[in-house]
Structure 1
Amino acid sequence: MIRWFLGLVFVAALATAGVVALRTFQFTPAPVPHTAIAAAPDLKVDPQAAAERLGEAIRFQTISVQPGETWNAAPFSAQRAWLERAYPAFHAVTSREIINNESMFFTWAGSDTTLAPILILAHLDVVPVESWSKDDWTNGPFSGAVKDGYVWGRGSIDDKGSLIAILEAANALAVSGFKPKRTILFAFGHDEEVSGAQGAQSIAKLLQERGLKAWFAIDEGQAIIAAHPMTGGPVSLIGIAEKGYATLRITATARAGHSSTPDKDTAVTLLSEAILRVHRMPIEMRLEGGPALGMIRALAPQLPVALRAAAANEWLFSPLINQRLGADPLAAAMLRTTVAPTMVEGGPKDNILPGRATARINFRLHPRDSAASILARAQEAVKGIPGIAVEWDQPPHDASPVSSSTSDSFALVAAMARAVAPDAPVAPSLVMAGTDSRYYSGVAQDVYRFAPALFTVEDIGGVHGKNERLSVDNLSRMIKGYAHLMAAGAG
């Protein structure tokens, strides 16, 4: 009996090993339509001159502000007038509409109106620079200095680098005599850094009212990263979805009074318990339901065999995957909704028991979850704690729909990436932050987030921080990439 049982176990182990080996062997990138990217016309673009123009754009301090704060429109109107002078050929072949006084929407009409247009996005605004940090910049935050092979200043990467590269490419195409068959639309919002409601959301609404449906939209959000944590080498990451954004407000109420005679529980202790329960509530973490599995599949040829086998056989190795990836905050954020308590408010003085205390907990919603389901779980988590109310602080944004990574449009964007980084594998990915692109899902068949630039960790560290800078080499890559995208996609 024992020998029979051991034999059965041995056969089962062999069968399992065979299944694991077979699935690992079959774990290859999903097929993508072969789209050869057409060679762009011989464009006359001087990267150094383009860098100087990016520097000029940076000197317009187009800082977006929160609702209720004073909006300074002068830099936006000045920048708009300068762009018209700097890119005359582009303005000559397009029609321009001004949306809500600041945003710009351009149409480069194609000869074949039966073809769905391409929609190219960027934003005009930048985040402010904290006054205490200005002296820490190697070059002034709004200097637009071109030094040591870089263009320095706020917005050089986020997002005036993309804006200028798009305009340089389109202007050069217009000068060359390029005439698109497919219409190209350009949407440049003015308030991306503070929600995009007046810019991108309004432009998307306009497109919807006109019954326009783009073939695809492309925005910022991902790029070619110099050293991917799974492969150690460069990878072109194309964002096919972005996480949602929601902030939960927890309010605790209790008897107010003097701190010398506290009750067993105060508003602060009740709030603390509620924060802990919400922070610790279990949230599913797995590869399915978002771009993570597609990314690993795309990188399979470059992955260590053990990781490749684990991903191909998640049914068996799920605990191991969760343990390994869950230990890294960035990897974990790709696989689940994140929970981050960020703000707490209580009494006005240390000897006062506040009658009310509040906390805010930020969620970045995975495509697998919805704001409604997370709110319901948070409300369930705090049940039994007296005096606790849980609600969204502001209307939440669910994660965007997941766009196709096997479509002709994805293949075109992938080909654009290969045009500037031929040795970097291309993989779909999830964008952690919010971009204007989230508003365009209803007016585009697919929405992608990718800029054809090669970024290091140091480069990314300057975004919204100090010493933001874009290399002249990257600006040149971006101009080439966008020109190829327009020529191949609309030519």
Structure 2
Amino acid sequence: MSLYDLESREQSGICQQVSNLSPRNREVEAYIRDTVNTREYHQEIINKLSGIIQIPSESYDDLGRIGEDERWNVFFQIEDYLKTTYPTVFQNVRLDHANTHGLILTWEGSVSPSKAKPILMLAHQDVVPVLSDNLKDWTHPPYDGYYDGEIIWGRGATDDKGYLISIIESLDLLIKSGFKPKRSVILAFGCDEEISGENCGRPISNFLHQKYGDNGIYLIMDEGSTGIQREFNQSFAMVSVAEKGYLDVGINVSSTGGHASTPPDHNVIGILSEIVVAIESNPFSGAVTPKNPMFNFLECAAIHAPVSNFPTQAREKLPMASQGDISSQQQLSRILDDMRYYFRTSQSVGKVKGGVKINAIPETASTLVNLRLAVETSIAEIEAHFESLIIPIAQKHGLAFEGFHSLCDSSAKRKICLFSVDALEPAPVSPIDTESFRILSGTIKNVLKPLGTDDELIVTPYLMPANTDTKFFWASTGNIYRFTPLNLVHSLNRAHTTDEFIRADEFVQEPLFFATLILNADDAVEP
């Protein structure tokens, strides 16, 4: 019998599923379920989401300091909207501000945080900008929050205003039900997640870390990139327990200029092009290792998906890969090539700059390469890889070379210089053998349904290929989970592009999920 046969999962202990977890407070749970399932409630919460979408809270890469750049002022409108829309919540929570626009709502529990660590739910108020040239491509204007009877359209519907409304709505429901928490509940809303989070995400983290200390938070919930999906003809609830790392590599090439009528054999643009070709010709190799949460997902799929739908070759390679066989790990990556960027570092040349006039030899050329780091690698390894590719090119053209940890003096001539921007190591992998993960899994089982006709929705660890504000909270807890409790399709419901949307029938159920999670986490507090 194979290790990944369905019949052997009890003996192997792989991908064990918990039972549905219902709150002990049946009265509160019934109140919330009954409320959420009414037509009047559906229209009410849809209107709330539509209203916040109508506030164009765009964050821009070139924003100045808060208090100096007037474009930040739109977030005052978001705060006012939330206070007006949720008066009951703001009457029962303590509101703190982190760097003006970072909002921290604390619903104090009856038990001290030293005995019952708080639960923290994150969301962000900002959205990526809508380009004016693309307005014509939207089915409905991006900031109308239009509801067509099935879908709510608009920038932020999925990323991340739907999530924000859902978690604050869950508090509103719980407060109105008469529930009194033992464990404190914290909601924190950043203002700049789409541009790295330094203006709100980090200040929020600093505020909470100063208050609760290392490992002072019970668990963190934030948006996820997958949610509920059907893979290998099986429904999975994909909880991201880690994120890939992030790095932008800058490359500057400088040399002497001159008149275009007497050019050198290779000017800086040609040399930079040679570098780009070398980068793209040497992509990072992939390997499916047990360090990656995706390995756990594949094990779950091998056990629970129909045998005919899971690749036979992958099933055969998993046991050896789990024991550290490098060849099997590399072969798994090739077999599952359509998922390759979950298993390897990605690289994308995103910006190129060089030359100002057609009849002048350019003196400088530069590029920026965006990388998302596999969980098994590090920034130092990526930097060493780039240096190994580029040093021979510098030598070939008689150029000086300065690596990542040099001063990179841009005024110096005849040189190739490398530098790093926004460097972030891969996130620590949150454990799945903890009480908090079991509570989250049980809540998912209790509230959410499989796609199609499956008998069971399988909860599995997963990997977030992008980054969220959770990157600032590693010291606050090891239990960080990124999960959106709905089916995300068409590139995360077209987040970051035209016609972003969220399906109303799924959205209206989200507050039930978050409220149930709060109740279940509260039940774990020692009496």
Q: Would the TM-score normalized by the shorter structure come out above 0.5?
A: yes
Segments of structure 1 that go 5 or more residues without pairing to the other structure are 1-17
Write the deviation string for residues 199-222 of structure 1: whole angstroms up to 9, x where unpaired. 111111112222331011110023
Aligned to 1:421, the other structure's residue is in SS state: coil
Which residue is 1:191 aligned to?
A: 192
- Tell me the amino acid that sits aligned with residue 335 of structure 2: R
Counterpart selection for 1:478 from 497, 506, 510:
510
TM-score, normalising length: structure 2: 0.83
Write the deviation string for residues 120-169 of structure 1: whole angstroms up to 9, x where unpaired. 00011111111111122221111012213121111010000001111111
1:311 paired with 2:318, answer yes
Whether the aligned pair in 1 keeps the contact of 2:192 and 2:200 (CA below 8 Å) is yes
C-alpha separation in 1, matches of 2:90 and 2:47: 20
- Tell me the amino acid that sits aligned with residue 273 of structure 1: E
State which drifts further: 35-44 or 346-355: 35-44
1:347 paired with 2:355, answer yes
Evaluate the alpha carbon distance shift between residue 48 and residue 23 of structure 1 in structure 2; reply closer, same or farther with a 3 A threshold.
closer
Evaluate the alpha carbon distance shift between residue 147 and residue 206 of structure 1 in structure 2; reply closer, same or farther with a 3 A threshold.
same
Identity %: 27
C-alpha separation in 2, matches of 1:35 and 1:184: 22
Which residue is 2:218 aligned to?
A: 215
Which residue is 2:288 aligned to?
A: 287
Which residue is 2:486 aligned to?
A: 453
1:466 paired with 2:473, answer no
CA drift of 1:438 comes to 1.1
Write the deviation string for residues 305-338 of structure 1: whole angstroms up to 9, x where unpaired. 4432222233364453232223x2xx11111111
CA drift of 1:76 comes to 1.7
C-alpha separation in 2, matches of 1:393 and 1:22: 44
Which residue is 2:378 aligned to?
A: 370
Whether the aligned pair in 2 keeps the contact of 1:109 and 1:180 (CA below 8 Å) is yes
Aligned to 2:279, the other structure's residue is in SS state: helix
C-alpha separation in 2, matches of 1:64 and 1:319: 40
Which residue is 2:111 aligned to?
A: 112
Which residue is 1:323 aligned to?
A: 334
Evaluate the alpha carbon distance shift between residue 436 and residue 353 of structure 1 in structure 2; reply closer, same or farther with a 3 A threshold.
same
- Tell me the amino acid that sits aligned with residue 130 of structure 1: L
Aligned to 1:384, the other structure's residue is in SS state: helix
- Tell me the amino acid that sits aligned with residue 300 of structure 2: A
Which residue is 2:463 aligned to?
A: 430
C-alpha separation in 2, matches of 1:282 and 1:340: 10
Counterpart selection for 1:441 from 456, 459, 474:
474
C-alpha separation in 2, matches of 1:58 and 1:233: 33
Whether the aligned pair in 2 keeps the contact of 1:139 and 1:145 (CA below 8 Å) is yes
CA drift of 1:35 comes to 7.2
C-alpha separation in 1, matches of 2:124 and 2:192: 7
Which residue is 1:269 aligned to?
A: 270
CA drift of 1:32 comes to 6.1
State which drifts further: 389-398 or 212-221: 389-398
- Tell me the amino acid that sits aligned with residue 122 of structure 1: A
Write the deviation string for residues 401-439 of structure 1: whole angstroms up to 9, x where unpaired. 111122221222222322212532111111111111111
Segments of structure 2 that go 5 or more residues without pairing to the other structure are 400-414, 451-455
Give the RMSD, CA atoms, in angstroms.
Answer: 2.2
- 1:21-60 matched pairs, under 5 angstroms: 21=2, 29-31=14-16, 36-38=21-23, 40-43=29-32, 44-45=35-36, 46-60=41-55
Which residue is 1:205 aligned to?
A: 206
Aligned to 2:239, the other structure's residue is in SS state: strand
* Corresponding residue pairs, total: 466
Write the deviation string for residues 10-69 of structure 1: whole angstroms up to 9, x where unpaired. xxxxxxxx9xx4576566634466672426242224122100111011111111122445
- Tell me the amino acid that sits aligned with residue 51 of structure 2: E
TM-score, normalising length: structure 1: 0.89
Whether the aligned pair in 2 keeps the contact of 1:237 and 1:427 (CA below 8 Å) is yes
Whether the aligned pair in 1 keeps the contact of 2:153 and 2:500 (CA below 8 Å) is yes
CA drift of 1:356 comes to 1.3
- 1:106-145 matched pairs, under 5 angstroms: 106-113=105-112, 114-145=115-146
Evaluate the alpha carbon distance shift between residue 266 and residue 89 of structure 1 in structure 2; reply closer, same or farther with a 3 A threshold.
same
